[in-house]
Every structure is written in C-alpha cells, then in structure tokens.
Amino acid sequence: MYKIAVAGTGYVGLVAGVCFAEVGHLVTCVDIDESKVNVMKSGVSPIYEADLEELMQKNYAAGRIDYTTDYKSAYKDADAIFIGVGTPEQPDGSANLSYIATVARQIAESIEKDCLVVVKSTVPVGTNDKVEQFIQDFLVNDVKVEVASNPEFLAQGSAVHDTLHAERIIIGTESKWAEELLIKIYEPFNLPIVSVNRRSAEMIKYASNDFLALKISYMNDIANLCELVGADVQDVAKGMSYDARIGSKFLNAGIGYGGSCFPKDTKALENIAKQHGYELRTVKAAIDVNTDQKTMLYKKASKRLITFNGLKVAVLGLTFKPGTDDLREAASLENVPLLIEQGADIYAFDPVGADNFAKVHPEGINGKGSITYVTNIEDALNEANVCFIFTEWGEVKAVTPEKYKELMRTPLVYDGRNIYSIEEMQGAGVEYHSIGRKAVEREVSKESRNLELQTVRS
C-alpha cells in the first residue's frame, strides 16, 4: 500500500485516483475548485462515467480516498504524485502545458520526502524531461525526486473498466528506482506492464491514439466512396474484419471522431512533427477527412431540402459518443449552428448531454432559428420535418422505424451512426439516409401497393 496524491479530478485524474483506492492504496485527489471538492466528498461525481460514483462512495467510506484543495498537505509526504490535469489544444494545435507547469512547481515547493512524480496527462514527446528539470529548479527541500511517464488509455464511458482491466500499462522511466516503484504501485492491478524510457512512453500514447483516428478516417473515406460506387460500407467492414491483421474494431463508418483525445492528439502529433521539420502526411489526411465528415449529413440534407427555415428539426444525440456527457469535438457542435443559421427550429434530445449543450446554445431563439431541449424522443420527433441522429444512444437505437413514420410530419431521417437497416426503414415508409450505404429500390408488387393504399385509406 502506497500513499498517492493525484493532481486534477477530470476524466484522467479522478478515475485514476478512484481505481488506485479500489486496489488498496491511500489516495488524496487535489483540485483547485473547493465547491467541486465538496461535491466529491459527498459521493457525487462531477463527470458522467459508468461505475465511478459507486466506487467513489465505497472507497471514501473505507477511508482510502479523500479530496482536497490543500495541495501542500497532499503532496508533502506522498510516495508518488500522479499528474492528471488537462493539456488543452492551443490555436496552432500544440498542447497547452501551463497546468502541468503549475502543478510541477507546487510539487517542488511542497514535497518533504523522496517522491516519484508520474505524468498521466498526454504531453508532447520530451515534456517529462522538462518537468523533471522544472521541479529540480524550484525544489525547496533536499529530497530525491524523479519524473515518470504513465499515459492513460481509457475511453470515456468505460473509463473505470478500462483502468481496472487495461490491456497493458505503459510506464516510462529513466532509473531502476522509478521503474521498480511504479511497478509495485501497479502490482495489485495484476495487468501486463510494458516498461520503456520516458520519451518512448510519451510517443506510445500519441502513436496509439493517432493510429485509431487513422483507422476511423480511413473507413469514413471508404464509406464515401462506397456511396458513389454502390457498395455497402458495413458489408465491406465485415469482410475486412476477418483479417486478423486488421481486426474488427474501429471499422464503423459515421460522421467522424470527437472527444477529448483523438482530435487533440492528432493535431498535437502533427504539430510535433512540424517542429522537427517533418510532415506526418497520414495523420494530416486523417484530420482533413474527419473535419469534412462531421458535416456530411448536413450537406446531404441541404441538397435534398430547399431550406431549413421554419422547419422542425429533431436532433437525437448531442455528445460525441454514448455513455458520456462530454461534448468536446462532438458532431452536434458543428451541425446545430449551421441548422440554426438556416432558420431551423431544433428539438434536441440527449439523455445526459443536454445541460452541457445548453451552456453553449441556450434554449430559445438563437439567431435565425431556435433550439428546445426535450426529455423524451417522442417530443423531438412529433411533427418533425427532418431528423438528424448524431449519437447512437441506446434510447435512440430503441426507436423503431415505424415510430419515425408515425410521429414525423415528413419521415426524413439522416443517420450519422448507421443504426438502422436500410431495408427496415424503407419498408416502414421512412426516407433514410446514412453513411456509406445506398438504398436499393424495392420491387413492390401490385398486391402490396393495393394493401398499402387500403391501409392509408382506413
């Protein structure tokens, strides 16, 4: 059992702290926001994440985790301090390291015993070398301190599971002491550990995320071509998935990737390459494809409709993926403003993301159009002229094709996540547009047509 301090209580820091407590370590999570600290002490998570609150309450009651704004007391006698603060994207695509620097100085001025500082935040290659030197520059007491890299590979919506059941733990160290201590801290997890030097660990994080982003953008590029040549991208993906060299994950075509990792990390790695006089052409292509893909549905609908002005537009899903309330780089943030600018009256549904979205686009009249947030899908669809699906929430997937036909004034659906079968939507009388798939004209018998007419007349 080790005494661990965690700087930052966002997705990375809070999840890491709770999981360290879950395996038996004594953890103190540090945040500058006192109101947020009080909320966490009450057992409420400031972020929407499966299983997180339950483990927060369990370990707080057991005395294994606490939350504080007093960083000095948290850092002074910690065996290890994990840094999980944000490294947001700057206008040029580089990572903002100011939060890392602030924490590093606080650590240097607070620690009173030998300590390992572990950076979990995603940082450019070589940053941890600078962090270690920065701490040494401001060190107050005569103690041993080293910096290690320990990048996270969690996915929002499954972060707790991804931490406790990781496929591997990457640690980057420059001494045997740091390596052995970090291995002992992770020993209770009973997971594979890959030990490399610091710079390799930093690069593994970027290389892994950017490869997945590449895979997504590649499939979206293929999907767009599939539509033009009459192929079905889902059939193509299925055929590809049997090849063990390719695998079955990240082959789903749609309206692009979002969230806190892929967009930021692709731009950051491209920026790192530029700083060294190198062009990462594949990563640049992934970024370009993703940028265009996000508004693909809007462009399709704009060709189909004369105008959005005065139309009721149902928007199903606002977050960048299901299972989280995170809106960062969500497709909705690109499309909703375009629809509002065209005069659309938007009725938006999202089971957990509506409050966050309302901070960006308050309910009511916004410019030429308006937005209303609803708590059930039926209110969004009722008498709607067109529907956009941006997030594949379970509640959205549960809506039957017949429901769109029944509730909408014009059953016109643009699905950015390929949730439905083209045949089933077509069979229900819904005009359905998805990504990388083309509707096949059905041959309808005379008897079927007569039956449909009789049904309508009755």
Specify whether 80 is located in the same domain as 173: yes
Co-location of 120 and 132 in the same domain: yes
Q: Same domain for 39 and 144?
A: yes
Q: What is the pLDDT of residue 265?
A: 92
pLDDT of residue 260: 82
Q: What is the CATH classification number for the domain harbouring 267?
A: 1.10.1040.10
pLDDT for 304 equals: 95
88 pLDDT tier (thresholds 50, 70, 90): confident
Q: Is residue 390 part of a domain?
A: yes
The domain that contains 70 carries what CATH number?
3.40.50.720
Q: Is residue 118 a contact partner of residue 83, using CB atoms and an 8 Å limit? A: yes
3-state helix, strand, coil in the chain (%, to 5): 45, 15, 40
Looking at the structure, tell me whether residues 29 and 124 fall in a common domain: yes
- 19 is an active site residue: no
Q: How confident is the model at residue 317 (pLDDT cuts 50, 70, 90)?
A: very high
Statement to judge: residues 169 and 49 lie in one domain: yes
Among 250, 267, 293, the domain boundary falls at 293
- Total structural domains within the chain: 3
Would residue 143 count as lying in a domain? Answer: yes
In a domain, 447, yes or no: no
The whole-number pLDDT of residue 157 equals 84
398 and 329 fall within a common domain? yes
Q: Give the range of the structural domain holding residue 358, as residue numbers without chain letter.
A: 296-433
Give the angle subtended at the CA of 127 by the CAs of 122 and 131, to the nearest 5°: 110
Which of 168, 196, 224 is a domain's end point? 196
What are the tens digits of pLDDT across the range 373-386?
999 999 999 999 99
Residue 451 inside a domain? The answer is no
Q: Please check whether residue 293 is in contact with residue 326, taking contact to mean a CB–CB distance below 8 angstroms.
A: no
Identify the DSSP state of 388: E
Taking only the tens place, the pLDDT of each residue in 357-370 is: 999 999 988 779 99
Region for 215 from its dihedrals, namely left if φ exceeds 0, alpha if ψ lies in -120 to 50, beta otherwise: alpha
Say yes or no: 227 and 281 in one domain: yes
Same-domain status, 126 and 258: no
- Other Cβ atoms within 10 Å of 348 Cβ, number: 25
Q: Which of 19, 226, 261, 387 is catalytic?
A: 261
Mean pLDDT value of segment 410-415: 97
Co-location of 156 and 89 in the same domain: yes
What is the tens place of the pLDDT at every residue in 122-176? 999 999 999 999 999 999 999 999 999 999 998 888 999 999 999 999 999 999 9
Q: Residue 345: pLDDT above 90?
A: yes
Mean pLDDT for 65-89 is: 95
Same-domain check for residues 225 and 282? yes
Q: What is the C-alpha separation between 250 and 254, in angstroms, rounded?
A: 11
Instruction: Answer whether residue 452 is part of any domain.
Output: no
Whole-number pLDDT of residue 233: 96
Tens of pLDDT, residue by residue over 220-252, are: 999 999 999 999 999 999 999 999 999 999 999
Q: Would 305 be classed as within a structural domain?
A: yes
- Same domain membership, residue 270 and residue 160: no
**Same domain, residue pair 45 and 129:** yes
Task: Band the pLDDT of 259: cuts 50, 70, 90.
Answer: confident
Average pLDDT over every residue of 282-302: 96
How confident is the model over 256-279, as a mean pLDDT?
A: 92
142 CB burial (10 A radius; 0-12, 13-18, 19+): exposed
Note whether residue 442 is domain-resident: no
Average pLDDT of the segment spanning 324-342: 95
Beta strands in 239-385 (DSSP E): 312-316, 345-349, 364-366, 369-374
Residues 6+ apart with CB under 8 A from 122: 87, 95, 151, 152, 205, 206, 209, 261, 264, 265, 268
The reported pLDDT for the residue numbered 92 is: 83
Residue 409 corresponds to which tokens in the numbers above? 């004034």
Residue 80: inside a domain: yes
Instruction: State residue 214's pLDDT score.
Output: 97
| Short-list 81, 145, 90, CA closest to 119 | 81
What's the mean pLDDT in 406-415? 97
Give residue 439's pLDDT: 62
